[in-house]
Structure 1
Amino acid sequence: MTTPWVRSVLAEPEIDAAAERDLARRARSGDTDARAALIRSGLRHVVQRARMLGFRGDALDDAIQAGCLGLIQAVDRFDPSRGARLRTYAWWWIGDAMRTAVPIVSAPLPDDLAGEPAHDSVASDLVPDDVPEVLRLRYRLGETAGLPRPRHEVARLLGLTESQVRDREAQAMRQLRQGLAKVVHRAPGEGVDPP
């Protein structure tokens, strides 16, 4: 059941790119009102991310709370001169905060995805078992925020060569792109709330 707060957040109109850039520049200069406006503008994406990850009930509330912390981190690091929109930049920060704070028990797949073969997933038999660990170490997943760890350091930690780390990372990214390409057309359009 959707709470009145969630409905009100989803009903808020999105700010356009020019207004977002202006707020971001002002926030980077120390304007706390601009920072607060950016955070408010990103709340709808926190709710959408939590719902897309399959959180419901109390877990939805917990995920939204954690996602808000991720959004705040993203707002504080957002650089509008790089050309990305805040929602694009913040998407990873929001999801990472949710996954770190609230375990995803088993988000149900949409009916049209439930029957797809397992070979389309990153955990395929074609991917070495250490790929998740390579990605976790390389991108500091589950750690406090930071720049990606250098490949030579990941290689040293896992007893691999730098080339093996690069290959595993590239293989995982290819499979992620292929998986995303299959579901992108199923994503809700701009301004459309997920079911």
Structure 2
Amino acid sequence: MSAIVDWIVGLMAVIGAPGVGVATALETVFPPIPSELVLPLAGFTAQRGEYTVLAAIVWATIGSVVGALVLYQLGRIWGLERLRSTAERIPLLHASDVDKAMDAFAKRGRTSVLVGRLIPGVRSFVSIPAGIDRMPLATFLIYTTIGSAAWNALLVGLGHELGNRWTLVETYVGRFSTVVWTLIGLAVAVFVTRRLRRRSRALAEAESR
């Protein structure tokens, strides 16, 4: 992680605020580069006078939207039928599961994109179902921009205010991210358990006939 910090610092030092956009675009497409590391560091760098806080937020939002567009396009290319076909090849999944998930997303797509951009761990991935669902591009851009701008302003602002203690943002947001991933893991575990029980009952009923 220290190597990532050094690279980001160097990028910002060389090209200034646009470097924040490049780093944010990369962290959007490659979640292992966490926004809770990039954005507070950008705020701290702004405090040192490398660029303004507003410039950091604007470029970070541009980078977020660019990265989200990449994932959105990947979702469009992959498409619903390929996703359904893939689900049929995965144990315990069915094409109908994909249909239910996409129906739910279609009903709350705008809210999912907006709120999803504010949740660590899933903020990048929410662009993919939007692409699969073929959400209108203008709608996707509007809600992605609003959500990204709010998230970026919060973390850049905290990094600016905390100064040398900007790593505290990463610490606390990282804990929240851990909670989110734990809840996702529990949801997956519940789903697998229920599906296994259903399969066991079906096999028992078939054998009893």
Higher relative contact order (CA 8 A, sep 6+): 2
Same-fold call, TM cutoff 0.5: no
TM-score (norm 2): 0.26
Asked which structure has the greater CA Rg, the reply is 2
